[in-house]
Amino acid sequence: MSFIRVNEVGGGSLERVNKLLHNVPGGVYKAAFSALRRAGDTAKTRAGQFAAAEYTINKGEFMRRVHSKTHITGGAGGVMGMSISFSGTVLPLLTFNTTYSRDGTVQTQVKRNGGAATLQHAFVARIFGPTAVFERVGSPRFPVEQKFGPSTGHMMRNEEVIEKMDETIRDTYEKRIEHEILRVLNGWGG
C-alpha cells in the first residue's frame, strides 16, 4: 500500500477564502473540503495515466486492478490534510510488455525508460489458471513458480508519479476553490 500526502495546497488562496466566507458559519471548511475532495478524485482518476507513462501497462488494466481510498482530515486551527492510499496485488508479467516466441525466448519490459530483459529459464504456459510466465524452481519439471511484475501500489510509489499526482492535486484545488466559494455564498448544494 502506498500513500500520497499533500502538505501544502493553496496557501495564498486560503486567506482569500477566509476573507470571503468569514460570515458564513462553516463556510471555509465546506469550500476547502469540497475543493480538496474534488482534487483527490481528479488525481485518482489520472493515476492510471501517470502509471502508464512510467510503466508498460495500459491505463485500463491499471484502473481495473488498483484499489484507492481518500482520507481528508480537518484538524485544529483550520488545517486540513488529505491522504490517498493505493493498494493492489502483484500483476502477472504478461500484463506488461512481454513477448515470447516459439523457440522459448521470453523478453519483458516493465518500465518504459528501461530496456527489455531476456528471461533465461522462463517459459509461457497455461498450467494452473490463465496463461502466464513461469520458471522452474529446481531441475525436475515441477515445482514451477509464476513470475510477476510490481503491484499497483508499488507503481504509485514512483517519484515521477508522486510528483505528477501532487501537481494535479494542487492545480485542481486552485481551480475548484473559486467554484466552491461561489457555491457556499449562493447557498447551493446544502
151-170 burial, b at 16+ Cβ within 10 Å, e below that, comes to bbbbbbebeebbebbbebbb
Model confidence at 141, pLDDT cuts 50, 70, 90, reads confident
Residue given cell 469540497 in the structure block: 34
Average pLDDT over residues 83-92: 94
Instruction: Give the separation between CA 130 and CA 124, rounded to whole angstroms.
Output: 10
Q: What is the pLDDT of residues 69-82, one digit of tens each?
A: 999 887 666 678 88
Q: Is it the case that residue 5 has pLDDT exceeding 90?
A: no
Average pLDDT over residues 143-167: 94
* pLDDT of amino acid 10: 56
In order, the DSSP letters of 43-84 are HHHHHHHHHHHHBSS-HHHHHHH-EEEEEEEE-GGG-EEEEE
* Strongest mean pLDDT among 23-37, 56-70, 126-140: 56-70
